[in-house]
Structure formats: structure tokens, C-alpha cells
Amino acid sequence: MDVVEALEAQRGTTCVVGAGGKKTTMATLAAALERAVVTATVRIPIFDDWVEQVVVTPDPVKAVETAGGWPLGLVPEREREDRYLGYDRATVDELAALDVPVLVKADGARMRRFKAPNDREPQLPERATTVVPIASAHVVGQPLTEDRVHRIERVAALTGLEPGDEIRPADVATVLASDRGGCKDVPDGATVIPLLNMVDDDELEETARQIAAEIHEQADVPRVVLAEMRAERPLVAVV
């Protein structure tokens, strides 16, 4: 099994949410797939350097049908120098009828490594087939502060932590497994596959395995993926 198979991204619409490597995960999957569409339902930083081309268009279906290279980035508008806007969810759902894997950034995290969603997140298309809630293994042992965690008040509400408290494996698992966290608003029929990223040494792998065991206690997921998405072989383990 490789990371594409582990995340079931070889077909359908795969949505990444959470924090700690959404962009890197999408780039890794896009590079591993023979063809892939990369898009978003929220703002997305400029990603021209890891796709063959970015097409700015109100008609993404037509852009796929006439694509000249893969992976293909699709966005409706460039908002400013460093980011694009995303499509509405219904427009992304139109891509599901095409025979091409679609990778979707479905929330934001402001470059943090752990988060819980607000009331407007995530923006998941109804025809999503896989939802991948992400967290970085590096947050375990770190304090619950804004420089590492996006929306600390939401994480605190789910875990019982206070700002500044040390984040434990069970806290990461609770957020990823919660229907107010990583499993929020998952469409009927979609598969949730949590991803623990930045697992770059043996100690972090043991930490990630603890998180994965806790997730399985709290949520009905087929597997938890441990990875280092910046590595040549990103898949560390499937738990």
C-alpha cells in the first residue's frame, strides 16, 4: 500500500481539512497520481509550482475536458498576489462526474499545525468520497498557544484544555475524531481517514500510534495514516 491507496485518493473527491500539512499532502498525492485535479472550496495559497498548470476559470468542468497537462489546478479567481479564491461546493461537485481524481482544500489553518473548525468550516462538497482530517504529530508535548494551534478556543472546548496547557496524544485524537472537529459535516457515504503528518522519527511514530489508537476508540474510521509528506516515501504506517 502506498500513500495514495492509504488515503483512497486514486478516485473520487478527496477533501483535506485540519492543519499540519494540507498543501504538502495535496502536492504529494497530485504528484503520485497519473492525472489529478487540484482545487479548493476556500482560499488557497498560490500553488502553481506543484501542478502542471493553473487555470483560472468559472467553468472547471470544461477546463478538465480540454486539459493539456496534469496535475491540473483549477480556481475561480486570483484574490491577491499570494492566494486564489476557491469555488463554491456545488461547482466542485460538478467535477465528481468526471473520470479524474479531485483533491480539495476544504478549510484553512493559517500555517498552524493543529486546529478545530469554526461554525463556517469545513466547506465539504456533498459528493466528497474521502475526508482527510490532518494534524501534525509535532504538536504533542507543545503548549496550546496561537503560534501552533488555529482557534485554540475551539480546541479547548473539545478537549478540556486551558490555553497554555500541554497538548497530549488523547487531545489530538479527540479533535480529529469529533463531529465538531475533524469529522464535522462529513457527507453521507464519505469515508474519514485521519492523517498524522510530520512523523519524521521513531519517537514521533510512537506518539502518532498512541493518537491513532485513541482515534479508533472514539471514531469508526477504517484506518489512521501516519506519514511524513515531505519524504521521498511519505507513508510511515497504517494503523
Could you tell me the residue ranges of all domains in the chain? Answer: 3-238
Amino acid identity, position 73: G
Identify each DSSP E strand in 149-231 by its residue range.
149-150, 191-192, 195-197, 225-227
The residue assigned the cell 474521502 is 130
In CATH terms, is domain 3-238 a member of 3.40.50?
yes
pLDDT digits (tens, 9 = 90+) for 112-156: 999 999 999 999 999 999 999 999 999 999 999 999 999 999 999
Amino acid identity, position 61: V
pLDDT digits (tens, 9 = 90+) for 157-211: 999 999 999 999 999 999 999 999 999 999 999 999 999 999 999 999 999 999 9
Rounded distance between C-alpha atoms, residue 74 and residue 105, angstroms: 12
Q: Is the pLDDT of residue 88 over 90?
A: yes
Q: Is the pLDDT of residue 110 over 90?
A: no
Mean of the per-residue pLDDT values of the chain: 96
- CB count within 10 Å of CB 191 equals 17
pLDDT, position 50: 94
**C-alpha separations of 115 from 67, 100, 140, 175, 203 in Å:** 35, 30, 13, 8, 22
Mean pLDDT of 41-52: 96
DSSP annotation of 201 reads: S
pLDDT, position 80: 87
Q: What percent of the chain has pLDDT over 70?
A: 100
